[in-house]
Chains A and B, each alone.
Chain A
Amino acid sequence: MKELSNTACIVGVDESDEIGILPNKSQLALHLEAITNAVRDAGLKVKDVDGIFTAGQHSPSLLGEALGITPRYVDGTTVGGCSFIMMVGHAVAALHHRLCDVAVVSHGESGRSGVGVTRSRDTSLSGQFEIPYGFAGAPTYFGMITTRHMHEFGTTLEQWAQVAVSTRKWAALNPKARNREPITVADVLNSRPVCYPFNLLNICLVTDAGGAVVLTRADRAKDCAKKPVYVRGAGEATEHVMVTQMRDLTFSEATRLSGEKAFTMAGVDRKDFNHIMLYDAFTSGPPIMLESLGFAKRGEGVHLFEEGRSTPGGSLPINTNGGGLSYTHTGMYGIFPIIESTRQLRGECGTRQVPGCTLSLVNGMGGMLSAAGTLVLANQR
């Protein structure tokens, strides 16, 4: 993939018209709002789109039909919330080979209100080997990874809580974030117990929202409305679906591999980044991702969330939109960190703008660290 570095750019990003709790908007409407908004952000028209990439319940062909276009390239990879991050890499390859000229990666999910949603999942394994014991919902799976991490490395509930505190500080600076009032470590520890080791404030929001990202080749990106953001590196991998099958319960091999591929393609090292976006479905996720990506030794990822590091004004800002914990989390969150990284690299973020943001990392998981996608994004070649 090295020869594909910097060949394509993100030229448009946006959310749906509103994000939050939207009982009057269908999942399909959230997709279409996000796509039209992101295409407008790029200075393009919907008719220019000829590649559609989407994960979840709605197929790329449905989005093409609804938009009134005939895409000549589609991708429906659905491996969890990181699918959209992976699809940016897929789009780079498709654009390079001229399989399409304008690619849209789209997400729409009525995750809270369930409007226009058909629930149908493959349950044959979970139905036999997990559900009869009371497993239900992501906290009952991701907690296993978290408890074991505490056992092996001595990580504490206070340290996980600090991730929520840091992320909330960023949310306070984002007008679109759902929860913006400051919180303390004690607030997290005293919030309602849901499933040990998680209290309510360790767990992401559940919302309704859409988001979309528009890409085109670097030569064409110059003609778009805004400063292009270069896709310098992209990587992906999958490891497992059932948490019992994870080879090492406190280290994500898929995350490591996706990072190695993206860093090699980009020709960058970990110390080069000045902004990081990670998929924070739970407070324990980002520290374990940073350990798996090689930003911290095993067991030490939590230290990157201390005051003065990940926090506003800190040395390595993380999750500057307020994250899944405080900004929005529909269910498949992965499109939103891409949107935030793009805005930071463009310098559009107002009071939460990271000064001198030139190189941004996006990393996300699908399922329970089951799949992973990593992007290296830059505002110059």
Chain B
Amino acid sequence: MSPADLERPLPQPITPEAKPYWDGLREGKLMLPKCQDCDHCFFYPRILCPRCASRRIGWIQSSGRGRLFSFEISHQPLNKAFKVKPPYVLAMVELDEGPRLMSNLVGIAPDPKQIRCDMPVEVVYEKLNDEFTLPLFKPAGAAGGR
């Protein structure tokens, strides 16, 4: 698939310190960096721990579960390369392991009366191409992806 056929802009430019994250997603695993000195689990991947500044960083596999920390509903396309038809839900998810990340909430109507902060969510993988898979989230226990 050429980028023009894709519904979403590919993640880029990939930073070397984030490679294990992208490698994990390709295999259907949500990997998170974790400090080997203070056990702090964080996101985004970087070469030191934002809590204790240790450079000893390892990786763990996330449970893929968390809560919808906050959300928005986009009603208009804001980026030509992003072709998902509005309205769609922009999500900030707080994983059970602690870190927050941005994603989309799928498998629910884009309606602020149905979506609420702190609702439990779980990861669903969206393959973009052979190289990139994104972690999206759906309400916990809901059927399927999109």
Give A contacts to B, CB under 8 Å.
123-125, 127-137, 139-140, 143-145, 147-148, 151, 192-197, 242-245, 249
In the complex, are the beta carbons of B70 and A137 less than 8 A apart?
A: no
Find the A residue at minimum CB distance from B102: A130
Known: A128-B13, A243-B92. 11 other contacts (CB 8 A): A123-B13, A127-B11, A132-B8, A136-B82, A137-B78, A147-B70, A196-B74, A197-B72, A243-B102, A244-B99, A249-B69
B114 within 8 Å of A by Cβ? no
Cα-based distance from A151 to B115 in the complex (angstroms): 11
A140-B90, A143-B72, A196-B112 are contacts. A131–B9 as well, Cβ < 8 Å?
A: yes
In the complex, are the beta carbons of A128 and B134 less than 8 A apart?
A: no
Cα-based distance from A132 to B101 in the complex (angstroms): 12
Cα-based distance from A145 to B9 in the complex (angstroms): 25
In angstroms, how far is the closest chain A Cβ from the Cβ of B88?
6
Partner of B101, one of A124, A129, A131, A145: A129
Complex contacts, B18 vs chain A, CB 8 Å: 128
Complex contacts, B15 vs chain A, CB 8 Å: 124-125, 128
List 9 tightest A-B contacts by C-beta distance, closest first: A151-B117, A136-B78, A196-B73, A143-B72, A136-B79, A148-B70, A193-B75, A144-B70, A244-B100
Complex contacts, A143 vs chain B, CB 8 Å: 72, 90
Complex contacts, B116 vs chain A, CB 8 Å: 151
Cα-based distance from A127 to B73 in the complex (angstroms): 20
Cα-based distance from A130 to B43 in the complex (angstroms): 13
B12 within 8 Å of A by Cβ? yes
In angstroms, how far is the closest chain A Cβ from the Cβ of B130?
16
Give the interface SS of chain B, mostly helix, strand, loop or mixed.
loop
In the complex, are the beta carbons of B70 and A151 less than 8 A apart?
A: yes
In the complex, are the beta carbons of B11 and A128 less than 8 A apart?
A: yes
- Sample of 21 A–B contacts (CB below 8 Å): A123-B13, A125-B15, A129-B11, A129-B102, A130-B102, A131-B11, A133-B90, A133-B103, A133-B136, A134-B79, A137-B78, A140-B72, A140-B78, A140-B90, A148-B70, A192-B75, A194-B76, A196-B74, A243-B92, A243-B102, A249-B70
In the complex, are the beta carbons of B74 and A140 less than 8 A apart?
A: yes
In the complex, are the beta carbons of B12 and A127 less than 8 A apart?
A: yes
Cα-based distance from A107 to B18 in the complex (angstroms): 36
Complex contacts, A139 vs chain B, CB 8 Å: 72
In angstroms, how far is the closest chain A Cβ from the Cβ of B61?
18
In the complex, are the beta carbons of B117 and A244 less than 8 A apart?
A: no
CB proximity to A under 8 Å, residues B1-50: 8-15, 18, 43-44, 50
In the complex, are the beta carbons of A134 and B88 less than 8 A apart?
A: yes
In the complex, are the beta carbons of A195 and B117 less than 8 A apart?
A: no
**Count of A-B contacts judged by CB separation below 8 Å:** 115
Give B contacts to A, CB under 8 Å.
8-15, 18, 43-44, 50, 69-76, 78-79, 82, 84, 88, 90-92, 99-104, 112, 116-118, 128, 134, 136
In the complex, are the beta carbons of B72 and A195 less than 8 A apart?
A: yes
Complex contacts, A136 vs chain B, CB 8 Å: 78-79, 82
In the complex, are the beta carbons of B72 and A144 less than 8 A apart?
A: yes
Cα-based distance from A249 to B78 in the complex (angstroms): 23
Partner of A132, one of B9, B70, B75: B9
Complex contacts, A130 vs chain B, CB 8 Å: 102
In the complex, are the beta carbons of B70 and A134 less than 8 A apart?
A: no
Cα-based distance from A197 to B111 in the complex (angstroms): 11
In the complex, are the beta carbons of B44 and A134 less than 8 A apart?
A: no
Partner of A244, one of B9, B73, B92: B92
Find the B residue at minimum CB distance from A199: B75
Complex contacts, A144 vs chain B, CB 8 Å: 69-72, 90, 92
Complex contacts, A147 vs chain B, CB 8 Å: 70-72, 117
In the complex, are the beta carbons of B79 and A145 less than 8 A apart?
A: no
Complex contacts, A195 vs chain B, CB 8 Å: 72-76, 78, 90
In angstroms, how far is the closest chain A Cβ from the Cβ of B133?
11
Find the A residue at minimum CB distance from B112: A196
A128-B12, A147-B72 are contacts. A135–B118 as well, Cβ < 8 Å?
A: no
Residue from B14, B75, B128 having most chain A Cβ neighbours under 10 A: B75
Complex contacts, B82 vs chain A, CB 8 Å: 131-132, 134, 136
Complex contacts, B88 vs chain A, CB 8 Å: 134
A151-B116, A197-B112 are contacts. A127–B13 as well, Cβ < 8 Å?
A: yes
Partner of B44, one of A193, A242, A249: A242
